[in-house]
Amino acid sequence: MSSVPERSDIDEEYKWDLDSIYTSDDEWEAAYEDVAERIPELEAYEGRSTEDPETLLELLETMESVLREVSMVVSYANLRSSEDTRNQEYQAQAGRAEALASKARSAVSYLDPEIQELGREGVEEFVAEEPALEAYQHHFDDVLRTKEHTRSAEVEAVLADLSDVTGSPSDIYSMLANADLEFPTVEKPDGTSVEITQGNFTKLQKHPDRAFRRAVHEEFYDTWKDVRNTVGSSLKNSVKADVKKARIRNYDTARQAALDGPNVPVEVYDNLLETVRDNLEHLHRHAELKRAAIGADELQMWDLYVSLTGGHGPEISYEQAKEYIVEAVAPLGEEYQSRMAEGLETRWVDVYENRGKRAGAFSSGTYDTQPFIMMNYQDDAASMFTLAHELGHSMHSELANDAQPWHDAGYDIFTAEVASTVNETLLTEYLLENVEDDELRMHVLDEYLERFRSTLFRQTMFADFELQIHEIVEADGALTPDRFDQLYGDLKAEYYAPAETDDHIAREWARIPHFYYSYYVYQYATGISAAAAIVERIRDEGESAAAEYRDALALGGSEYPLDVLKTAGVDMTEPEPIEDAMSVYESFLDEAAELMDLE
């Protein structure tokens, strides 16, 4: 019998409150039908959206009204489908919602080309005539700056209408990975058995018994081997879709297209890869500390997640984790702290793993809802840090939604990953300074080092892999499972040079869902770098720096990401934040080596 419970066996207090969106599926259905009937309202403005300032304002206000309703419909459906990916009713509901969103985007796809045709001078004249349009200045600038990459209204309509189709590789992968794949059960050293899942794999790789870790590693990746052709085809077509969409929009590369969305120059990406490669000796030292911790002659791939402390660490209940996290964010101000505490008590979080539940964690929601955090909490330090991470996203949304109108509240991932990692860093510092339990302190230090490794180095390695596979398609080359294995295996060997690579780890690319989100992962690495700099400023300057950070979060999407971070005192166009992050990593490695007597 599986050790993973069914959703019905979990207490309501540990489930998110989706009734706060719609009280029943019937209410969702009514909302779906109502907003579907409103989409023609948007289509009626085509060809005349910029005939005068009043018409443009009327359309923008109508568009907001419709799209806010659409986002509620989509959010509810996606959250329900994440609860149990085996539930065909909710999968169908999510599919209908995404199709509705695609139809709504298609219905206003003419707007950007028509604003661009009006031109910057024309927009300025409209704003002068209708002051209410001034609230959309950033939106207008964002539309006008991408004029050369925007196609005709007809082409834009086709692209919008195809969005749910071009995203199908990701959907296929998600269903395979979360609903259809069944991983084996392995015997633990104490004679009991445990079912490997997407949710518990990393935790099992931290088990102190090395033979058990190897068994989990091999069984897990052997399962992926059985579906490598399917996953390889899915990823190949996802990359091809990225490249084709970029070419349609007159970008030289898919990377340029992806980074132009948040207005981030490709030099930021190149700077990250170069700076991290130049500092791989710190990662190699971390790997050597792991080898020393387990007393092995050679470090193997099934040893990479092992704790420097040599064990799982103390159990941290969900209730205890909440308490620690709330106390840790005190430097961000009483209002921030109390709002987070309230959210934790009002069912923002879907806490525990259940069968069929989507793997991993995320923070979601809309402008008109509370945040919703999906967890697969495992009563350990890693889960506590993940909770802190997702709460950073949720609080970012809360502050931005309070301060900005709907059209300027949504922020880019580039800044989102700063908010989440600031929380992680504050949690680390709080626990190291305030907890007297030496065992817990060692595990906190180890956990932060692991998160640094997995966020700055591992995500940069992912970004390197993502760049390489896109460049192959852009050069009209072929991507196959063998090619994926070769590229990924080479990168793994370079980044983790002290460890022995094997055929199993070369398949790790197959289990990474973020490769389906075009040029997404690099932002985790830039995020942790910016976060380290921001926490250092708060530590040195106190409330003034904290206030600037809160101001940056409250900007939401009203300014471009690099400008938002400058409000918090960080310039990501320079290598210094990444180099400073490396110094933080090095100092924590020094502390770990001394505390645990590993060198």
Q: pLDDT of 149-158, one tens digit each? A: 988 878 877 8
Question: What pLDDT shows up at residue 312?
Answer: 67
CA R_g for the chain: 24
Mean pLDDT of all residues in 36-47 = 97
Mean pLDDT of all residues in 75-103 = 96
Mean pLDDT of all residues in 111-135 = 96
pLDDT of 274 strictly over 60: yes
Work out the pLDDT band at 310, boundaries 50, 70, 90.
confident
Distance CA 582, CA 588 (A): 10
pLDDT of 340 strictly over 50: yes
User: Distance from first CA to last CA of the chain, Å, rounded?
Assistant: 44
DSSP 187: E
Question: What pLDDT shows up at residue 119?
Answer: 96
Give the residue numbers marked as catalytic. 390
Mean pLDDT of all residues in 256-282 = 96
Stated pTM of the model: 0.84
Question: What pLDDT shows up at residue 590?
Answer: 92
Work out the pLDDT band at 443, boundaries 50, 70, 90.
confident
Who contacts 375 (Cβ-Cβ below 8 Å, separation ≥6)? 349, 350, 351, 352, 361, 383, 386, 387, 390
Question: What pLDDT shows up at residue 451?
Answer: 87
Question: What pLDDT shows up at residue 1?
Answer: 40
Task: Indicate the average pLDDT of the chain.
Answer: 94
For residue 9, count CB atoms less than 10 angstroms from its CB and return exposed for 0-12, middle for 13-18, buried for 19 or more: exposed
Q: In a 3-state reduction of DSSP, which class is residue 51?
A: coil
Question: What pLDDT shows up at residue 153?
Answer: 75
pLDDT of 2 strictly over 60: no
Q: 193 with 185: CB under 8 angstroms?
A: yes
Work out the pLDDT band at 598, boundaries 50, 70, 90.
confident
Percent of the chain at pLDDT above 90?
85
> All domains of the chain, ordered by start, with CATH?
23-166 (1.20.140.70)
